[in-house]
Amino acid sequence: MKRKYNIYIIGYIIYTLFLLSCPHSATAQTYKSAREQENRLMDAVNAYDKGDTDRAGIILEAIAGEDPDNDAAHYYLGLVAVRKADLEKAEEEFRKAVSADTTNFWYRHRLATVYSATRRAELAESIYRDLLRDFPKKSDIYYNLMELYLSEGRLDDALATLSQIETVFGKNEMTVMARFEIMNRQDHQREAYEMLEAYNKEYSSPQVLSILGDYQMSMYNDSTAVTLYDEALDIAPDYAPALLGKAETYRITRKYDQYFKTMEDFVTNREISSKGKADYLTEIIRRSDPNFLKAFRPQMDSLVADGVATHPKDSSMMALSGIYFYGTGRTDQACDAFRTNMLNWPESLSATASYIEVLAYADRWEELVSEAGKAAERFPEEKAFLEYSVLAGYNLKDYGLVLSLCQKIIDRNPSDSAAVLSSYSTMGDTYHLLGDNSKAYKSYDKALKINPDHCPVLNNYAYWLSMEGKKLKKAYTMSRRTVEKEPDNPTYLDTFGWILYLQGKPLEAKPFFKHAMLYGGKDSAVILDHYAEVLYALGEYDTAFIYWDQALAKDKGEERIEGLAEKIRERKASRKK
């Protein structure tokens, strides 16, 4: 049964007059029931509009149960199903709505979109074509049909539909650009640009002019490209693609004076998106030859400064400033820029994170401890800030702080196995640095309960046991698991080979050290020293001294091997070298 509100308005007037004379009649009761049903339908629609699909669905199911021919109830049940991503239910309800009222545009249109979404193009196409017959002035149908053809790869049919649109509604920039994109997909690039040129002779469009400018630039016709960009800018002085196209033409042709002048117009134009400016400048900074940034530093400094002055509170522009200063080796200015951005946007997690990261990159450990701690309080759900505090404390050798922070991470995130594992691992390393191996091993044991195959813990645990010369069997078992999981890791190979050596098996240890040499072991004084010891034990004295000499050359920095030079002298003296 078709439901039309104008019928009910007329009915309301008639029945109201009738009810005045016969208030208890059966007809009055029927009218009252119909009005109640309409009110319930409106309640369901209001619930749907407010996002309460569950309540809407309950009301609509009740209405449809009482009146199976209620097309509006079925239609809204279909919409509820779509919102719940139940396309099978949506199709069922839309079909019922269409069956109840075959003339309703929206019922049929919604059913077609479900067919399209479930990749039944023929059914969708059939409905769209029927709709075009009944509603020839509905532009949405043409575009739906065109999108359907594009999704099916039927490019010729899409172009034919586009021609229908232009016949009915006229040619415009949107239809021309759609035709351009389709022709490009057909690999008809030349014809596509010729079509744009023909359009440009009749109409003025900054977008079309800019695309033609890009095309001419790709053909190395830079003067023609600039002319086209200028035409676009005469129509729309704030059109960013034309400004950028013109600037890029000057940059590629090394006309840097014109490039920076055009870029100044670009960055100081308040009508152009600050994010677009920041994205372009960031890309230029990242992909430019360092010599370009060095040669034109004053001009680049000016562009960045102008961008910030034009958008002083914009996060993307301030972040660009920080990236630029850091990339050009001015870490203090980079830190200041990121700090200003954080202060401008104290509730922004990304702004705070960027500042914390640049402090870490700049090795500003004392500031990092303080700022990361504050950030952790402002964003307690983000555990990375505490982890940055741990990093800073480690570099400051404030091991008490490291231990307390690790415990805080564990307390705050007891169900986060990765965070707890990392914290126990760090605590184990820290206790070792403090000379408390008993607590170090207890921390490692807790970490391995979470992940028995965590290689960094297995390796460190095994290595410290080997350095103490005890529990070598346990150390061997743990270390063997690391080389089985990561057979090319030189650190793990060194630990396993050294344990074999300590067990009196230098011949078995040798191939592990040889393998470590192929994967970076030659860069470590410790690994070179261990290999030399193994070779010496095997009587390969000349080769051992070669590796000891290499170890001595690498023995620098904080991890120097105590007494290495004296040991080598004694070994050489004993062999009369």
Identify the three-state secondary structure at position 295: helix
Residues 517 and 491: their CA atoms lie apart, in Å, by 10
10 Å CB burial of residue 476 (0-12, 13-18, 19+) is: buried
Residues 529 and 511: their CA atoms lie apart, in Å, by 15
Of residues 10 and 492, which shows the higher confidence score?
492
Q: How large is the average pLDDT for residues 124-131?
A: 93
pLDDT digits 0-9 by tens, 391-450? 999 999 999 999 999 999 999 989 999 999 999 999 999 999 999 999 999 999 999 999
Task: Grade residue 189 by pLDDT with cuts at 50, 70 and 90.
Answer: very high
On the question of pLDDT at 24 being above 70, the answer is no
* CB 56, CB 80: distance < 8 Å: yes
Q: How many helices (H) and strands (E) does the chain have?
A: 33, 0
Q: How large is the average pLDDT for residues 152-179?
A: 92
Amino acid found at 314? D
Q: How large is the average pLDDT for residues 513-531?
A: 95
Instruction: Render the burial of 420-436: b for 16+ CB within 10 Å, e for the rest.
Output: bbbbbbbbbbbbbeeee
Task: Grade residue 7 by pLDDT with cuts at 50, 70 and 90.
Answer: very low
On the question of pLDDT at 12 being above 70, the answer is no
Closest CA to 347 of 382, 308, 320, 309: 382
Token code pair at residue 175? 């239809």
Residues 523 and 528: their CA atoms lie apart, in Å, by 8
pLDDT digits 0-9 by tens, 194-205? 999 999 999 989
Residues 58 and 41: their CA atoms lie apart, in Å, by 11
Q: What is the pLDDT of residue 35?
A: 80
Which pTM was predicted? 0.69
CA distances from 245 to 203, 233, 286 (A): 21, 11, 19
Cβ-defined contacts of 160-166 (< 8 Å, 24+): 165/139
On the question of pLDDT at 25 being above 90, the answer is no
Task: Grade residue 577 by pLDDT with cuts at 50, 70 and 90.
Answer: low
pLDDT digits 0-9 by tens, 492-503? 999 999 999 999
- Crossing angle, helix 5-21 and helix 26-49, to 10 degrees? 140
Task: Grade residue 36 by pLDDT with cuts at 50, 70 and 90.
Answer: confident
Identify the three-state secondary structure at position 137: coil
Beta-carbon neighbour count of residue 529 at 10 Å? Answer: 22
CA distances from 443 to 135, 334, 421, 440, 499 (A): 75, 38, 10, 5, 22
| Residue whose entry in the numeric block shows the structure tokens 């800030």 | 385
Token code pair at residue 126? 């059939």
User: Strands, E, within 80-160: which ranges?
Assistant: none
- What average pLDDT is seen over the chain? 91
Q: How large is the average pLDDT for residues 375-389?
A: 93
Q: How large is the average pLDDT for residues 253-266?
A: 95
Q: How large is the average pLDDT for residues 298-308?
A: 96
Instruction: Render the burial of 107-125: b for 16+ CB within 10 Å, e for the rest.
Output: bbbbbbbbbbeeeeeeebb
